[in-house]
Structure 1
Amino acid sequence: MTKTHTTARLEMKSWDEQTWDGKRYDEVSGPKQTVGGMTVAYTGALEATGDMRFVMTYEDDTTCASTAYEVVTGTLDGRAGSFVLHHVGGFVNGVASSTVTVVSATGGLEGLSGTGRITWPHGEPGRLELDYGLAG
């Protein structure tokens, strides 16, 4: 299977994060654990909407580790469908970053596999770099 390298820009459309006892994440200082969701618009080689659910563990108010699953629906290099990304990453020195792995796909993207990286400086658009292949 030939791998294709592609990139996309990310823009946050919505964010909801709260501590496990239901408080807003920014109302609690210091170490904490949170859950939440985010909606993202992808543009570029990936024209899609991502719907993510995440869990975060904060060491302090500026550093955290996270894991998430995201359903991405749209077109990847002209093929329509949806796929699920597993994210493992965190937030350090004002930059959110994660490695991503495709765990399943449907529609015209069935058979999609791949790995990549998201880098997202606070207050700026994010960037996805994805190396992928399509079986079949």
Structure 2
Amino acid sequence: MSSEASGTAEMTSWDEHTWDGRRYDEVTGPKQTTGGMTTAYDGDLAGTGEMRFLMAYPDDASCRSVGYEVVTGTLAGRAGTFVLEHVGGFRDGVADGTFTIVSAAGDLAGLTGTGSIRWPQDQPGRYTIEYHFA
């Protein structure tokens, strides 16, 4: 039986650079970047996330991204760590994407599922996760 979790996500740090080490916003036009982000989750999932990502910008106003995030926290009364595989992008002032739970440990061992996040620029994100324990 699947369960659903939802809540907010607050970015607590952001670091993004082009392959040659320049800040992403110092380079205009098409580019590729890599970086990291930390997130504080609140709601049905309470915890923190550490994400590493790759981004491809066709122009200065949009991008596509892929990444992996290690989340440490509590979900459904169980504490542990799990890994999310993210696919998403940014367009018209909104970052959004989907993710898949690819592994879990601690009391969260056996956790599987998928979810989505929508993050308007300069606002907290909103996530939903559909999950179950194997």
Deviation at 1:8, TM superposition (A): 1.8
SS of structure 2 residue aligned to 1:29? coil
CA distance in 2, matches of 1:39, 1:77: 22
SS of structure 1 residue aligned to 2:34? strand
Query: What residue is the counterpart of 1:122 in the other structure?
Result: 121
Deviation at 1:77, TM superposition (A): 2.0
Counterpart code for 1:26? D
Moved over 3 A (4+): none
Stretches of structure 1 lacking an aligned partner (at least 5 in a row): none
Length-normalised TM-score, structure 1: 0.97
CA distance in 2, matches of 1:97, 1:19: 21
Counterpart code for 1:106? A
CA distance in 1, matches of 2:2, 2:62: 34
How many equivalent pairs are there?
134
SS of structure 1 residue aligned to 2:25? helix
Q: Aligned-pair RMSD on alpha carbons?
A: 0.5
Query: What residue is the counterpart of 1:31 in the other structure?
Result: 30
Q: Could you report, residue by residue, the CA deviation over 1:54-104 in whole angstroms, capped at 9, with x for unpaired residues?
A: 000001111000000000001012110000000001001111011100000
CA distance in 1, matches of 2:67, 2:127: 15
Q: Could you tell me the percent identity over the aligned residues?
A: 61
Query: What residue is the counterpart of 1:71 in the other structure?
Result: 70
CA distance in 2, matches of 1:77, 1:8: 13
CA distance in 2, matches of 1:131, 1:35: 28
